[in-house]
Amino acid sequence: MFNKTSKQVINYTDHCDVYLINPPWLSKDDSIWNGVRSAMPPLGLLSIASWIESNGFNTKVMDIHVEGFSAQNVIDIISQSQPKVVGFSVMTATSNAAHLAAKLVKKANPNCVIVFGGVHAEALPVEVLCNKDVDIVVRGDGEIPFLEICQGHDWAKIKGISFRKGNSIVHNPIGTVEMDLDVFPFPAYHLVPMEKYYPAIGAYKKLPGINMLMTRGCPGKCTFCNSAMTTLRTRSAKNMVDEIKWLNKTYKIKEISFYDDTFTVMKKNVFEFCELMAKENMGITWSAFIRADCFNLEMAKAMKKAGCHQVLIGVESGDMEILKLLRKPIDVERTKECIKIAREVGIDSRCAYIFGNRGETIESMQNTLDFSIELDSDLAMYNVCTPYPGTQLYKWAKENNYLKSEEWGDFEYYTFMLSLPTVTDQEIMEFYSKAHSKFFMRPIQFWRRLVRITKISHIIDLINAFFFIVLRIKTGSRVDTRDDWKNTKKTDFYDFSPSQLDSSPALTYELREENAIPKAPSLLENA
């Protein structure tokens, strides 16, 4: 089921200067995420696209994930459009598909420059550049370096990129981080099929819905997160509200999912945003990611008045020793208070938990399960610990030989990739399965879902969620991504081995540890 916006007619084959590509996310057949029928616009690519367009370049976006394009589709499109530069946004789970697409693009257009960006490419630039068809890796924000690539600047002088020079890798220094995000235009939504995007089950109140970002970066130090210790910046409240008004007018958007790592971290801006949203009274509902230590009653009241109906809280664990190892030592009593505040003002709470963390034991996992039931949030999300490249957790796993595999197609939220000395895989997966059943099979959960039903689409989503997440029976499907993207391995795309390339760069998490991240204390004030 898709958004009921008017269908956008996109001509993918017209000639263009720049093509930006979102590769498919290929969830395994038994993955929970394969039963969650959601896909949202690729904001990173759309932000770069709008910036490139505003600087005079004819730009297109190809979302392979939602369009279900085949390998031959990609070859045909690039053969006809003949872009000079092709950019990919790469996560760990989409890495192999991105590499395959890069080779297809080079086959169709040998003279184009292929650029990889995103958290995975930034974390492992040397490995990415083992594919000879990938010319450049952008590390960090993409707008400025990507524009300079399109403008034909000397690669050696472009800040924040890595590239091959013979058998060596050149890592240019990171450039100045743009602190004022208002300088960038709104994302280029007109370049993607908006009618094909759909929020996740339980994350929306109205349709159509879309995702947005007010901030970039996070001052937190969580060991499992790619965003840990990254420079925190924000768009102004007025700029955000202006975009929401435009989205509402242009695409009839009624729901916003804020994907900020911590939406409430800049208190002053949040209050200004809420005041403006309440004043505009557009009937927009929205949800946001928060931290329990960046949320209070005053803020909750303001958010509710502005249309917020749900907050997502990363609880992670109910065991304080585990939380300390995760570098997220938020007291469990503070989390309880956060849920209480949300419920008091009429905002739903959705809590996320992780099983199989560093130092995990049977006792600590039981503490997490018991705590999730005690909190009694409106929804719960249970995951298993995944050591993504670019995180401190990945570094720790590598150093201690706890990493099961570095085959990126295996890295999913539900796939346990650590060999821990304290608990077995079977014990972790038993808790993972038991938690879903114990939480969602309670009568209170059925009641809460029933009283929130306002549309037939909600009923369909609830049926799919119950059968797949609780009973593990697949009733729905994600987007058809075609079989030819599947069954690839990262070594399939190596033209060099990592040892052949003369480079040992510091990974992103190491650089963050070595450099103090500038903060704005006045903006970070929280009660």
Three-state SS string over 452-510 comes to: CCCCHHHHHHHHHHHHHHHCCCCCCCCCCCCHHHCCCCHHHHCCCCHHHCECCCCCHHH
Three-state SS string over 327-385 comes to: CCCCCHHHHHHHHHHHHHHCCEEEEEEEECCCCCCHHHHHHHHHHHHHHCCCEEEEEEC
Per-residue pLDDT, 500:
75
Q: How many residues does the chain have?
A: 527
CA distances from 400 to 364, 381, 419 (A): 21, 29, 10
Per-residue pLDDT, 38:
74
Residue 139 and residue 125 in contact, taking contact as beta carbons nearer than 8 Å: yes
CATH 3.40.50.280 in the chain, residue ranges:
18-168
Per-residue pLDDT, 465:
56
Per-residue pLDDT, 157:
97
Amino acid identity of 193? P
First to last CA, the chain: 41
**For helices 297-305 and 332-345, angle between their N-to-C axes, nearest 10 degrees:** 40
- 433's enclosing H/E stretch is helix 425-440
- 98's enclosing H/E stretch is helix 95-108
For the four alpha carbons of 228, 256, 303 and 338, in that order, the dihedral sign comes to negative
Cβ within 8 Å of residue 448, ≥6 positions away = 378
Angstrom distance (rounded) from CA 527 to CA 521: 13
Backbone phi, psi, residue 350, to 5°: -125, 120
CATH architecture of 206-451: Alpha-Beta Barrel (3.20)
CATH number of 18-168: 3.40.50.280
Angstrom distance (rounded) from CA 359 to CA 98: 34
* Of 409, 187, 220, residue with least CA distance to 314: 220
Residue 323 and residue 292 in contact, taking contact as beta carbons nearer than 8 Å: no
Angstrom distance (rounded) from CA 292 to CA 465: 27
Angstrom distance (rounded) from CA 15 to CA 434: 53
Written as six digits, the tokens of 423 are 């608990």
* Of 5, 23, 251, residue with least CA distance to 120: 23
Per-residue pLDDT, 521:
35
Written as six digits, the tokens of 406 are 């570095």
User: What is the three-class DSSP state of 118?
Assistant: coil
Which residues share a beta bridge with 168?
A: 165, 502
CATH 3.20.20.70 in the chain, residue ranges:
206-451
Residue 156 and residue 171 in contact, taking contact as beta carbons nearer than 8 Å: no
Written as six digits, the tokens of 41 are 């616009």
Cα diameter, the chain:
64
* Of 315, 277, 276, 275, residue with least CA distance to 293: 315
* pTM of structure: 0.90
Low-confidence ranges of the chain (pLDDT < 50): 1-5, 33, 475-481, 516-527
Angstrom distance (rounded) from CA 58 to CA 52: 8
Written as six digits, the tokens of 390 are 């670019």
DSSP class per residue in 207-257: SSEEEE-SEEEE----TT-TTTTEEEEE--HHHHHHHHHHHHHHH---EEE
For the four alpha carbons of 274, 235, 208 and 459, in that order, the dihedral sign comes to negative
For the four alpha carbons of 462, 468, 474 and 476, in that order, the dihedral sign comes to positive
Which residues share a beta bridge with 257?
A: 211, 287
Angstrom distance (rounded) from CA 420 to CA 394: 13
What 415-422 contacts at long range (C-beta under 8 Å, 24+ apart), as own/partner pairs, is 415/28, 415/31, 415/384, 415/386, 416/356, 416/384, 416/385, 416/386, 417/385, 417/386, 417/387, 418/356, 418/385, 418/387, 420/356, 420/358, 420/360, 422/359, 422/360, 422/361
In this structure, the number of other CB atoms found within 10 A of the CB of residue 52 comes to 25
